[in-house]
Amino acid sequence: MRLKDKVVVITGASSGIGKSLAYEFAKRGANLVLGARQFVTLCEITQDIEARHQNRSVAVQCDVTVEEDCKTLIKQALLTFGRVDVLINNAGISMRALFKDVDLKVLKELMDVNFWGTVNCTKYALPEIAKTGGSIVAVSSIAGYKGLPGRSGYSASKYAMNGFMDALRVENLKTGVHIMVACPGFTASNIRNTALNKDGVSQQESTLNEAKMMSSEEVAIRIANGVENRKRTLILTFQGKLTVFLSKFVPAFLDKQVYKLFSKERDPLLK
């Protein structure tokens, strides 16, 4: 798939990986429909993209936990451009709290955004993407392959997302719809700053070394390449690939390594 003149819908597009995806797809000539809750920020991004590139960009205020908002997002794409070629399910939030301490509302919120947000948007985009033989992408995580301590709800939501997309892929083997799951490792973005603590409040500050992480711009390039080449799964870092490999063959060893890694984060939850 060449992205020039394609219509790409991106959720969670006001910051982090979503924002970088918007600029990368625009650079490749795509027309954009950007959804997020932060509408003012989204409008600034669309205006900047249109100033830099010849393609069109539309902002839509969208809370992916609200089914009607997701329906409106796809409807706006059709009203503006008459088609949908690619849906990038990127909207997501994280958490940082041990399960024994966390309020269950936090896990419910993560499932609503990360899993149900993907389901809601895909439900309304799929019939249109089936017409164009386009792509549905989920921005998942290595946490969808290996449960991470202090991120039980995040891992659960990403495991659920991966299973949903896997089933969707099989259902669409003969429809021409391309299904891709992208799994970044630790990425330098604001997702850890906005991660919810045990009470459901944003922690405001990352507890990991962001400087050593892959940039959101690099993640966006890899995902755009994956869409163009109709890849099935993207594991974006060596650490991620090693984690997937070890989880299959030496899971008990991996448990110990993950414990060791997270016990070294700033203000560790594991002692």
| CATH number for the domain harbouring residue 45 | 3.40.50.720
Given this model, what pLDDT does residue 203 score? 74
Q: Is 267 within a domain?
A: no
Given this model, what pLDDT does residue 53 score? 87
Tell me, yes or no, if 145 is annotated catalytic. no
Q: Is 1 within a domain?
A: no
Under 8 Å CB-to-CB from 161, ≥6 apart: which residues?
89, 114, 115, 118, 138, 140, 144, 181
Q: Would the pLDDT of 128 be above 70?
A: yes
| Cβ(111)–Cβ(156) below 8 Å | yes
Q: Is 20 within a domain?
A: yes
Domain with 48, as residue range(s), is 7-244
Per the residue annotation, which of 23, 124, 145, 154 is the catalytic one?
154
| Cβ(8)–Cβ(85) below 8 Å | yes
Q: What residue type is assigned to position 124 of the chain?
A: Y
Question: Quick one: which of 99, 231, 142, 223 has its CA closest to 178?
Answer: 231
Q: Is 240 within a domain?
A: yes
Q: Is 271 within a domain?
A: no
Q: Would the pLDDT of 76 be above 70?
A: yes
Domain count, the chain: 1
Given this model, what pLDDT does residue 186 score? 76
Question: Quick one: which of 217, 258, 211, 187 has its CA closest to 21?
Answer: 217
Q: Is 250 within a domain?
A: no
CA distance 254 to 145: 12
Q: For the chain, what percent of residues have pLDDT higher than 70?
A: 94
Given this model, what pLDDT does residue 180 score? 98
| Cβ(10)–Cβ(85) below 8 Å | no
Question: Quick one: which of 8, 133, 22 has its CA closest to 73?
Answer: 8
Given this model, what pLDDT does residue 208 score? 61
Task: Note the pLDDT tens digit of each residue in 178-214.
Answer: 999 999 977 766 665 689 999 999 876 656 655 667 8
CA distance 225 to 182: 11
Q: Is 265 within a domain?
A: no
Q: Is 214 within a domain?
A: yes
